[in-house]
């Protein structure tokens, strides 16, 4: 019996039978969706929130990232968000309701020096499952460009998961190489919705 016949009988396929994409692409553990919030005051908040594209391989992520406007160049009032597929970057989503966010305030003076690197590093933490066993608690990340200063946040699923929240926060500080004096705070979404003034109560700080 020929080698080809043996392969057919045993159910073993040849390399030529596989999709070329499967041979070269590296699948991500989760499928991620990129969202863009456009600051159009003639539309409602939800109408301004648009899902742009999803990616499920390392190569697709880089193709997406390399074609995006860098975050420091998007207009004031706009956001980028990267969330696990099926989760919308809004408090009302059922998978966000019980959760909160680690929040880093980025000064305007850092927009052209640090913000792009911070955002890319957080994106790599997302798709690379950098939070180890706590990665399941991560829902997504949002960057907001604002006149008074920009905001970078990582959203988690449940405010009661203290160990996972602290692991995620410590990983963020480590990966962004933040100075010890540069603190980040964790806010519950329920607290953010009922905040007084412009400040929400921080459940935890690092």
In the prediction, which pLDDT does 110 show? 94
> Which of 56, 62, 74, 162 shows the shortest CA–CA distance to 115?
74
Q: What is the DSSP letter of 29?
A: E
Tell me the C-alpha distance between 22 and 41, whole Å. Answer: 43
In the prediction, which pLDDT does 200 show? 66
Tokens of 85: 């597929």
Phi, psi of 159, rounded to the nearest 5 degrees = -65, -20
pLDDT digits over 29-54, tens only?
A: 999 999 999 999 899 988 999 999 99
Q: What interhelical angle do 58-67 and 116-127 show, nearest 10?
A: 160
pLDDT digits over 138-171, tens only?
A: 999 999 999 999 999 999 999 999 999 999 999 9
User: Does the pLDDT of residue 8 top 50, yes or no?
Assistant: no
Phi, psi of 150, rounded to the nearest 5 degrees = -90, 160
> Which of 111, 107, 105, 99 shows the shortest CA–CA distance to 136?
99
Looking at per-residue pLDDT, the higher value among 202 and 85 belongs to: 85
Residue 36 burial class via C-beta count within 10 angstroms: exposed 0-12, middle 13-18, buried 19 and up: middle
Bridge partners of 55? 32
**pTM for the structure as a whole:** 0.86
């Amino acid at each position: 019996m020929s080698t080809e016949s043996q392969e057919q009988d045993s159910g073993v396929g040849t390399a030529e039978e596989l999709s070329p994409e499967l041979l070269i692409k590296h699948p991500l553990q989760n499928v991620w969706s990129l969202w863009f919030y456009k600051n159009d005051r003639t539309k409602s908040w939800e109408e301004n929130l648009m899902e742009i594209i999803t990616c499920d391989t390392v190569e697709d992520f880089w193709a997406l990232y390399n074609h995006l406007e860098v975050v420091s160049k998007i207009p004031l009032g706009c956001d980028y968000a990267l969330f696990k597929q099926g989760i919308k970057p809004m408090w009302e989503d059922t998978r966000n309701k019980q959760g909160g966010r680690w929040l880093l305030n980025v000064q305007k003076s850092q927009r052209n020096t640090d913000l792009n690197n911070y955002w890319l590093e957080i994106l790599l933490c997302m798709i690379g499952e950098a939070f180890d066993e706590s990665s399941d608690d991560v829902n997504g990340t949002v960057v907001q460009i604002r006149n008074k200063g920009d905001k970078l946040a990582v959203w988690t699923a449940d405010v009661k998961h203290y160990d996972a929240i602290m692991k995620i926060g410590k990983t963020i500080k480590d990966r962004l190489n933040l100075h010890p004096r540069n603190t980040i705070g964790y806010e519950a979404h329920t607290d953010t919705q009922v905040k007084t003034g412009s400040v929400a109560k921080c459940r935890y700080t690092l």
